[in-house]
Amino acid sequence: MESLKILHVPPNDLFPLPISTSFPVSTFLIPRNRKFPASTGIVTETLSFLCSSKLLPGTRTVRERRGLLFRARSTSASSPPFTDELVVEKWKDNPVSGDSIRHKFLTFYASRGHKVLPSASLVPDDPTVLLTIAGMLQFKPIFLGKVPREVPCATTAQRCIRTNDVENVGRTTRHQTFFEMLGNFSFGDYFKKEAIQWAWELSTVEFGLPANRLWISVYKDDDEAFAIWSDEVGVPVNRIKKLGEEDNFWTSGVTGPCGPCSEIYYDFHPERGYEDADLGDDTRFIEFYNLVFMQYNKKDDGSLEPLKQKNIDTGLGLERLARILQKVPNNYETDLIYPIIEKASELAHVSYAAADDQTKMNLKIIGDHMRAIVYLISDGVVPSNIGRGYVVRRLIRRVVRTGRLLGIKGDSLGNLEGAFLPSIAEKVVELSTHIDSDVKNRAPQIFEELKREELRFVQTLERGEKLLEEKLADTLSSAEKTGTAPCLSGEDVFLLYDTFGYPVEITKEVAEERGVIIDFNGFHIEMERQRRQSQAAHNTVKLAMGNGADIAENVTDTEFVGYDSLYAKAIVESLVVNGDPAVMASEGSDVEVLLNKTPFYAESGGQIGDHGFLYIAEGKNQPKAVVEILDVQKSLGNIFVHKGTVREGFLEVGKEVEAAVDVKLRQRAKVHHTATHLLQAALKKVIGPETSQAGSLVAFDRLRFDFNFHRQLLDSELVEIEGLINGWIGDATLLQTKVMPLVDAKKAGAIAMFGEKYGEEVRVVEVPGVSMELCGGTHVSNTSEIRGFRIISEQGIASGIRRIEAVAGEAFIEYVTARDSYIKQLCSTLKVKPEEVTTRVENLLEELWEAKSENSALCAKAAVYKASIIASNALLVGNSKQFRVLVECLDDVDADSLKNAAEYLIETLPEPAAVVVGSCPGENKVSLVAAFSPGIVDEGIHAGKFIGQIAKLCGGGGGGRPNFAQAGGKKPENLADALEKARSELLAVLSQKGN
C-alpha cells in the first residue's frame, strides 16, 4: 500500500486521526512521549485504543476488524511497546455483504441457464440422515437415478446443519453448526470444463478475488481437470495440488455414483511462497469452493464404470467467502453472524473488541448456535431427548450455559426469572429475510419455545452446578495431594446425570475448563450397571444368588426360533425357584426358566414377551409337567428368562421340554407391532417428516406410540391418520423382512431409532411403499391381517412429546363391539335412535345447566336470608370509636352462597364492620369468608392474612384482598373452634383500637 500523508499528532490532543474515505491509505505518526493507559502496552492494543475513540464515527476496533480495518507496523529499529513512529494503513471499506454474495452467486448461475430453487428444509426427506448436511441432499434421488430430472441444471443457497464438530465451534476460524452452502448442479447437462471455468470466473471476476491468491486441488488421477485448470484457465501448475482419494474423491456409498472433485482455496499468506505449501494448513489456506464431478458408477467389486449421465455437484461456503471478501479473521466476524455476537455482548455487558480469547470464544458459540437453533425450530424441530429434537436441545443448553458463563442473568433486563434466548433470537430473525422468509412468520412460536426450554434447563443447571463445583473442588484437591492428574470419577458424573439430570456433555465442558478430565469408562460402567439393576428388578431375576452361585455363569445366549415357528423342543439349562437357584421345581412353584433355544419372544423394542406353556410328556401324549409362561424377559444381553408357574408335575434342569407359544396372543402382538410402523408412517405424512418415535408399547390389548411434536393433534389430523392406516390395511400388502448390513439398511432408507445401538447385521421390516424400519419384533405377513385400526387417545406426556394409544386386529373388533354395546344401552335409556344421541345429550346438559343455575340462585337467596336473620347478632366493640363484629356459622351453605352472604352482611351492617362466616358444605369440607369494611381495613387489619390463619385450624388455608378473602379446610370438626378464635381475636384487637 502507498502512504498518503504523514501527520504529527501533538501530545496534548486526544487522537484527532484524519480519515479520508476517498483514499485507500492514510498514515500518521505517534510521538514517543505520548501517554497511554497501562492496558495498551503493545502496538496492537494502542492502535485498538486509538481506533475505538469516539472521534472516529463509523470505525471499529482492530480486534473487531470490521468495516474500516487498520494494521500497525513499526518503522523503527526499536521494539514495541513504544517506537518513534507507527505507520497505520487504512484498508478501503469493503461493502460486500453476505446477502449480496448470495444474490450475486444465484444471479450468476441463473444467467447461465440454471433454475434457482429454494433451500430445502433442515429436516430432510432422506431417512438415512438426521439433518440436511449438504446442498446436494435434495437432489440425491436424481443423482442416484431414482427419479428423473425436472430441470437440466439448478442453483441453490441451502441451509445446512452439521454438529459432528460442535466442540470446535468458536475455537477455530471456520467451524460452524449452521451454514449456507451455495451450489450449482448439473443433471447430465454440462460437465467439468464449464464447471471449472464458471467457478473461476465467479471467483475472480464477479467477486474480484486476486488470481494469484487462489490455489487448486484435483484428484491425483484426474488429468482432465488438471489440464483444464492449467491450460484453459491459466492457473500456474505450482498452485495446483494433486491429492488422494480421501481428500478429492467423492462417493455416495459403498456402491453407486461417485467421482473426483476439485477445490478452490484462498491463500491468506502468499508471501510464504510455493515451497512445501500445504493446503491443509488452516493458518494459511481456506477451501471455499468444491466441485464434484460425478462421472463413475462404483460396482460391488470396487471397479469404476463411466456413467451415461455425468453430473456436477458443487458447494461454495457462504460464510467462508464472506470472511475472505470482508477481510475479517474468522467466519464469526462476518456480517452473517457478527450482529448476533454484538447482541450477546450487549446482554453480557462486555466488549467483544476488548475481550480475552475465552470470552470471544463464548460469544462466537452463541453467535453460531443461535442461528442453528432458530432455523431448526422454524423448520419444526422442537427440543426433546431424541433425534433432531436432542440436537436442538443440546445446542440450546450450550448457549444457556455459555450465556451464564458470560454473566447474563435472567433476561438481562432486570428480570432474573426471565430468559435471554428470545432477545438474541430476535437478531437472528432480523437477519433471516434473505435466508428464509418464513422465519419471521414463525418468530412468536420460536421465541416461546426458546423461553420455555431455557427456563426449564436453568432449573437443571442450578441443581447440578452446585454439586458439580463441589465434586471438581474435591477432585482438584485430591489430585494436588497425590500429585496425580485430576480426574472426575465416572460415579460422580453418573450421579450428576442420573440424579440431577445434568447433561454429560456440559459436565465435560465445565471439567475441561477447570483442567479436569472425566473417567468416561467409569461412567459407562455405571450406566450399564443401572440398566442391569433396573432390568433385574423389573424381571425379579437374581443373577447373583444368596449362596454365591451365579446362575448365568455357564449359560450361553438363547437361540431364538420364534420368527419361523411357535413351537420348539428345548433343554432346561437353569431354574430359579422363589428367587433362588434350583435343580427342580414342583407343582405350584413360581419359576424362572432358562432354555437353550425358544420360540418365545422376549420383551424388547416395545413389544411385550410371549405367553404360552412348557410341556414334558410321559408316555404317549401324557403330560408329566405343565408350566404356564406369563412373561419372557432378556437378561445379560441375549439370555431369555421365561417366567411362570408350574401347574402340574415337576420341572428339572437338563430335561427336554416342548415350548409352545400362545398363538392367539402372539397374533395380537404381531398385529399391534405392524400397526405401530404404519402409525409412524402416517404421522410423518400428516404432521411432517420431522416427527420421530420417542418410545412405544406393543401389548396384546393395545399399542402405545410416543413421538416428538410440539402441539396437540387436531381432530381432523387424527381422522386423516386413521384413514391412511386403514387404507394401507385394505391394500393387503405383503411385508418383506430381510437381514442385511447396517450400512446397506440405512442406505436403503430404513428408519432407525435415534440413540439405539445396532450391530453390523440388522433386521429390516418393510411395508413396501409405506414404511421401512430396523426392527427385531414380530410382524404380520400381510397388512390385511390387521383388519382395522382405531385411535383411542392422543395426549401430551412431556414437553415436546405426544402419545397415541390405539387398537388393531382382534382388539379393534372388541373395542368397536364394546362401543356399539354402550351406544345401544344409551339409546335404550334415552329412547332415541343412535343418530339422535348427540342432540338429546346436548339438550339434557342444557336442562341440567339451567337447573343448576336455578338451584345456585335459590341457595344464594337462602344464604342471604340466613344472613339477614343473623345480622342482628353483630357485637359492638370500643368506646371512643365503635366497631361491629359478626362471626357466625351458616351450617351447610356452599362456598359461593357463603360469599354472597358475606357480601350482603358487609353492605348491610353500618360502617365500620368486620364479618367472618363459615360453613361445612360437604364431607371433609370447610368454607370460610372474611369481609371487612374500609373502616376496619384502615385500622391495619387485612382480611386475607386474617382468614388464612383461621383456616389453618381447620386443616386448610386461603387468602385474598385486604377487604375480602376466602379460605377452605378439610376438618369440619374444628370449625366451631376456628370461628370462636376469629371472634375473640377481632374483639380483642378492635376493643384496643376503639378505646
Q: Residues forming the annotated binding site? A: 673, 677, 775, 779
3-state secondary structure (DSSP) of residue 345: helix
Report the alpha-carbon distance of residue 571 to residue 654 in Å, rounded: 6
Report the alpha-carbon distance of residue 161 to residue 586 in Å, rounded: 62
> Backbone dihedral region of 390: left (phi > 0), alpha (psi from -120 to 50 degrees) or beta?
alpha
Cell of 960: 385474598
Report the alpha-carbon distance of residue 248 to residue 255 in Å, rounded: 17
> Backbone dihedral region of 18: left (phi > 0), alpha (psi from -120 to 50 degrees) or beta?
beta
Binding residues for Zn(2+): 673, 677, 775, 779
Residues 6+ apart with CB under 8 A from 892: 919, 920, 921, 922
378 and 184 Cβ atoms separated by less than 8 Å: no
Residues 949, 952, 957: CA angle, nearest 5 degrees:
80
383 and 392 Cβ atoms separated by less than 8 Å: yes
Closest CA to 262 of 297, 235, 299, 298: 235
Amino acid at 886: L
- Per-residue three-class SS string for 425-471: HHHHHHCCCCCCCHHHHCHHHHHHHHHHHHHHHHHHHHHHHHHHHHH
Cell of 56: 472516529
Instruction: Name the one residue in this structure whose C-alpha cell is 340466613.
Output: 866
Cell of 258: 461417485
Pairing of strands 214-219, 240-243: parallel
Report the alpha-carbon distance of residue 901 to residue 285 in Å, rounded: 85
Report the alpha-carbon distance of residue 39 to residue 929 in Å, rounded: 68
Instruction: Name the one residue in this structure whose C-alpha cell is 442461528.
Output: 371
Residues 968, 973, 977: CA angle, nearest 5 degrees:
80
Other CB atoms within 10 A of residue 796 CB: 13
Residues 6+ apart with CB under 8 A from 984: none
- The four Cα atoms 982, 987, 990, 995 give a dihedral, to 10 degrees, of -170
Helices (H), 169-297: 192-201, 223-227, 245-248
Instruction: Name the one residue in this structure whose C-alpha cell is 458424573.
Output: 493
Closest CA to 363 of 375, 373, 378, 353: 353
Cell of 432: 433471516
- Per-residue three-class SS string for 673-741: HHHHHHHHHHHHHHHCCCCCEEEEEECCCCEEEEEECCCCCCHHHHHHHHHHHHHHHHCCCECEEEEEE
Report the alpha-carbon distance of residue 945 to residue 965 in Å, rounded: 9
Closest CA to 399 of 320, 353, 330, 340: 340
Report the alpha-carbon distance of residue 718 to residue 15 in Å, rounded: 70
Report the alpha-carbon distance of residue 63 to residue 48 in Å, rounded: 7
Phi, psi of 259 (to 5 degrees): 170, 170
Instruction: Name the one residue in this structure whose C-alpha cell is 452446585.
Output: 466
Cell of 241: 495440488
